[in-house]
């Protein structure tokens, strides 16, 4: 493998963390969780953690999912960004 080649991920892959960052709103957690569950078939509370920024302006939610393939990951990213509520997906 060359230095510029990314490591290969073998699917299905668990745990696969996805961090979603957006501005704090009263329904941010619910909207983002519903969107994630539409792509994963459901999530347990144990696979979700959330944290507010120091100033309380932004919130990050980390979801631990079973990634089934690159198509799933691309769809999740596309839908999160299209929601208008997400600043960044890591």
Q: How far apart are CA 55 and CA 41, in angstroms?
A: 33
pTM of the model: 0.90
Q: How far apart are CA 50 and CA 43, in angstroms?
A: 14
Query: What are the residue boundaries of the structural domains of the chain, listed by start?
Result: 26-89
pLDDT digits (tens, 9 = 90+) for 18-54: 999 999 999 999 999 999 999 999 899 999 999 999 9
Q: Are 58 and 24 in contact (CB under 8 A)?
A: yes
Q: Answer whether the bond into residue 23 is a cis peptide, omega within 30°.
A: no
């Amino acid at each position: 493998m060359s230095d510029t080649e990314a490591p290969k991920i073998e699917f299905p892959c668990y745990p696969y963390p996805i961090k979603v960052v957006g501005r704090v709103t009263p329904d941010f957690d619910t909207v983002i969780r519903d969107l994630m569950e539409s792509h994963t078939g459901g999530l347990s509370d144990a696979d979700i953690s959330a944290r507010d920024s120091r100033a309380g302006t932004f919130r990050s939610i980390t979801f631990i999912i079973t990634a089934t393939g690159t198509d799933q990951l691309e769809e999740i990213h596309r839908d999160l960004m299209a929601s208008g509520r997400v600043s960044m997906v890591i």
